[in-house]
Amino acid sequence: MITPRVTLSQIAARAGVHVTTVSLAMRDSPRLPPATRERIQALAREMNYRPDPMLSSLVAYGAGRRKPAYQATIALLNSFPNSEDMVAIPCYRSYRDGAVKRAESLGYKVEEVKLGNNHNSKPDALKRQLLARGITSMMIFPLPRSAELLPGFDWEEFSVVTLGYSLQEPQFNRVTNHQFRTMMLLFRELRRLGYRRIGLCLDEVYNLRINMGLSSAYTAYNDSIPEADRVPVHRLSAVSGQQALIKWVHAVKPEVVVGLDEGFFSWIRNAGIKIPQELGLASVHVCEGDDLSGGMLQNDNLIGSMAVDALVAMIHRNERGRPQHPHHVLVDGTWQQGRTIVRVGPEQPWFLNLPSLA
């Protein structure tokens, strides 16, 4: 015998509320008080309610074709002393663009909150300002330097997601690029193009900001390849700069150099080294829209979008304050060959495949 499916209308009748209230409760909408959501959800479980998958698909399809109703405003915390400096950094601008677009598709508005130079001395004022405007959720964009943010601020009334690793204290759920895997994907693609001697030009500041992702990946890679293929790392210095970099290139003779940005690329070009004929160049963080550089796109736009998804999920679950066990959403990078890298020989063996469990 087929048991009739319990409907939202039946749950509404039992709960003494409108069917719209039941629908909002089953979707964990923050528009309802937590106690109301929990009471209706408990009643639905008691009545053995199961969503109709076909109806759910139809509703989702319809929702995707119309502009969603306004849900709430998400604060985007910009802690740069000069707020314009943050969006001048291409990857942060992509974070913001991805976040704004995704938030709008879900009915949320992203509003930048510029903390400026003196924000650490006025945490209570900031809290009052946000709550007075009904803002209880925020994304914390990377800080200009790794540090604690807003000492003494009462986070317990806010749902918070941070991007990147620069925020050291307090610890929140975060969304960022999976730097270790991104580097490993980069090394694998370079070996597929025939490169054997892969050198790393290490920006120490950037490496620290991404939780030592570059140096740890390079160490693991070098430990897994023949000794003849290993190249000692070059650590960038603001003092020695271009001269030391070119001296290192001539001394260790890498076939391709991995580094951060166009700055070290220009140093090598200015030394008269032909790229990519004499030396390949691979960036660990190719900016979106840069079709010239070979290396890894870190999918910054997607990171911003996924940060909003993570935050909205927290809002729906009414998760606020510092999490007891912060979790990380890590996004893989995407290979782009560009024009600074060419095939130099047959594909080289890759030594980091997982062993078979059979």
User: How many whole angstroms from its chain centre is CA 226?
Assistant: 34
Residue 43 has pLDDT above 70, yes or no: yes
> What is the edge-to-edge ordering of all strands in the sheet holding 173-177?
108-114, 72-78, 137-140, 159-163, 173-177, 328-331
> pLDDT digit string (tens) for 344-354?
999 998 877 65
* Longest pairwise C-alpha distance within the chain: 83
The structural domains of the chain, ordered by start, are 72-170+301-331 (3.40.50.2300), 179-298 (3.40.50.2300)
- Answer whether 134's CB lies under 8 Å from 73's CB: yes
- Answer whether 159's CB lies under 8 Å from 320's CB: yes
Residue 276 has pLDDT above 70, yes or no: yes
Most confident by average pLDDT, 60-64, 123-127, 146-150, 244-248: 244-248
Q: What is the pLDDT of residue 61?
A: 52
- β-pairing verdict for 72-78 and 334-336: unpaired
Q: How far apart are CA 24 and CA 3, in angstroms?
A: 25
Work out the angle between the directed axes of helices 34-46 and 19-26 (0-180°, nearest 10).
90
- Answer whether 142's CB lies under 8 Å from 91's CB: no
- Answer whether 175's CB lies under 8 Å from 161's CB: yes
Closest-CA residue to 225 (of 251, 190, 258, 250) = 190
What are 75's two structure tokens? 């604060």
Most confident by average pLDDT, 184-198, 209-223, 229-243, 258-272: 184-198
Sign of the CA dihedral running 185, 187, 191, 194: positive
Mean pLDDT of 144-166: 87
Q: What is the pLDDT of residue 352?
A: 72
Q: What is the pLDDT of residue 211?
A: 85
Residue 241 phi/psi, 5-degree rounding, is: 55, -125
Q: How confident is the model at residue 70 (pLDDT cuts 50, 70, 90)?
A: confident
